[in-house]
Amino acid sequence: MKNWISFPKVEGTASRQAHVRLPAGTYEREMGREGFFGPATQMHHAHPPTGWTSFDGPLRPRAFDLNHVDHMPGQIPECPLEAPALMGNGATQLRLWRFKGRMEHLVRNADGDDLLFFHQGGGHLFCDYGHLEVREGDYVVLPRNTSWRLETDEAVMVLMVEATGDAYKLPHKGLVGTHAIFDPAVLDVPALDDAFQAQKHERETLVRVKKRNQLCAMTYPFNPLDAVGWHGDLAPVRLNWRDIRPLMSHRYHLPPSAHSTWIANGFVVCTFVPRPIESDPEALKLPYYHSNEDYDEVLFYHRGQFFSRDNIHPGMVTYHPSGFPHGPHPKAYEVAQKFERKETDEVAVMIDTRDPLDVYPAMEGVEWGGYADSWKAK
């Protein structure tokens, strides 16, 4: 346990409550530790913290359009283990997989749990534990070393987030109780149903396994997805964003940590879903300016209009390195101040990583080079 130095203090002109009743003519910026879970200070500035005229260097915010990411030469498109790697560090690897058809081999990730987010399309996922139908908007957590394959009649676009050497867990929900945000009872697990029984066969089957980020192959004279039963409390789970009921307050803008969905040791995955916008006239009505001092932030935009951003569409991803002051774009800030929108309609997946992320070559050619300038007042 950390014993943070703590001496709550107010200096100069400041509000008594974070994100509420800001002093006239000021812009609030939160400097926080441990990704909104640690101590924080709200600074009140005379100018927007994003009011730069130029920006360069490794702290530069970046935006990419994943709709145009292609497989690298030599990769097998039907194999999710060879999907283009987008970003990563020692705790996680982000990939984007596009596929349509029937996987003729099985895959297994021995490097860590995999989280699949189905941005487009769906189908039938078969794994050691049985059969699971998947659709747009589903998360599927696959425990480390689970063998699986996918069948689909439509094209799928899947964001894959690996918990390298780690496992996904649910966030602690504290005062609001275990049924808040989503009840664990809505988590679906695979079934040994008729579809699973029908896929069993005695033909030779290839299993491709990723270990230490290298691929190896195992060949069986039968289909290893041949379970006749199982019991226990370890299995893949499915959660659709539509089953998430977000925490909200009409008088206070909650931090992203309130929307935590999956937790690993080196990062957290949050889900932003439609919700009412704060109605209290003194409360901020969109994400406050902040510079997350310890975590890199990645946002994948699934659908809707992200209410604090301009010129961002579904299938894009933004990357904000730790220490970069960011927040709403000027136009979005104006709209929020007038309370012209009463609710959000965006769905987005946020991955906050404790260690810096590397951006991989697959992202070359799909970057929006002007993203850092998008905060400039028009």
Per-residue pLDDT of 33-51, as tens digits, reads 877 777 888 889 999 888 8
Cα–Cα separations (whole angstroms), residue 371 to 359, 368, 375: 16, 6, 8
Per-residue pLDDT at 359: 98
* pLDDT score of 206: 98
Give 329 or 108, the one with higher predicted confidence: 108
Q: Label residue 210 by pLDDT band (50, 70, 90).
A: very high
Measure the CA–CA gap between 274 and 341, rounded to whole angstroms: 12
Greater confidence (31 vs 89) lies with: 89
306-357 residue pLDDT tens: 766 778 899 999 999 998 888 887 777 677 667 778 898 999 999 999 999 9
What's the one-letter identity of residue 366?
Answer: V
Question: What pLDDT was estimated at residue 307?
Answer: 64
pLDDT tens for 232-250 read: 999 999 999 999 999 999 9
Q: Where is average pLDDT lowest: 53-57, 188-192, 218-222, 313-317?
A: 53-57
Do the first three CATH levels of 28-64+246-372 and 80-166+183-241 match, i.e. the same topology? yes
Which two structure tokens, joined as six digits, stand for 331?
């136009």
Looking at every residue in the chain, the average pLDDT score rounds to 92
Annotated binding site for homogentisate: 326
DSSP bridge partners of 108: 209
CA angle 234, 240, 246 (to 5 degrees): 105
Catalytic residue among 19, 253, 259, 329: 253
Q: Is 221 helix (H, G, I), strand (E, B) or coil?
A: coil
Q: Which residues are annotated as a binding site for Fe cation?
A: 290, 296, 326
Contact between 357 and 269 (Cβ < 8 Å): no
Binding-site residue positions: 290, 296, 326
CA distance readout (Å), 208 to 230, 257, 316, 355 = 23, 36, 29, 29
Is residue 119 within 8 A of residue 158, CB to CB? The reply is: yes
SS3 152: strand
| Residue 250 annotated in active site | no
Identify the CATH homologous superfamily for domain 80-166+183-241: Jelly Rolls (2.60.120.10)
pLDDT of residue 73: 73
pTM score:
0.93
Instruction: Report pLDDT for 171.
Output: 94
The answer to whether the CB of 99 falls within 8 A of the CB of 80 is yes
Residues contacting residue 4 through CB under 8 Å, at least 6 positions apart: 33, 38, 39
The answer to whether residue 52 scores a pLDDT higher than 80 is yes
Burial state string for 306-317 with b = 16 or more CB within 10 A and e = fewer than 16: bbbbeebebbbb
| C-alpha Rg value of the chain to the nearest Å | 22
Q: Which of 82-91, 125-134, 169-178, 279-288 has the lowest mean pLDDT?
A: 279-288
Q: Which pLDDT belongs to residue 6?
A: 81
- Sorted by where each begins, the domain ranges of the chain are 28-64+246-372, 80-166+183-241
Query: In this structure, are strands 130-134 and 138-142 parallel, antiparallel, or unpaired?
Result: unpaired
What's the confidence (pLDDT) of residue 336?
Answer: 66
Q: Give the type of residue at 56.
A: D
Residue 374's pLDDT band (boundaries 50, 70, 90)?
confident
What number is the average pLDDT over the span 205-217? 97
- Token reading at 67: 């709709």
Say whether pLDDT at 221 is over 90. yes
pLDDT of residue 3: 83
In the prediction, which pLDDT does 378 show? 59
Q: What pLDDT is attached to residue 355?
A: 96
Nearest to 142 by CA among 106, 174, 175, 101: 106
Query: What fold, for 28-64+246-372?
Result: Jelly Rolls (2.60.120)
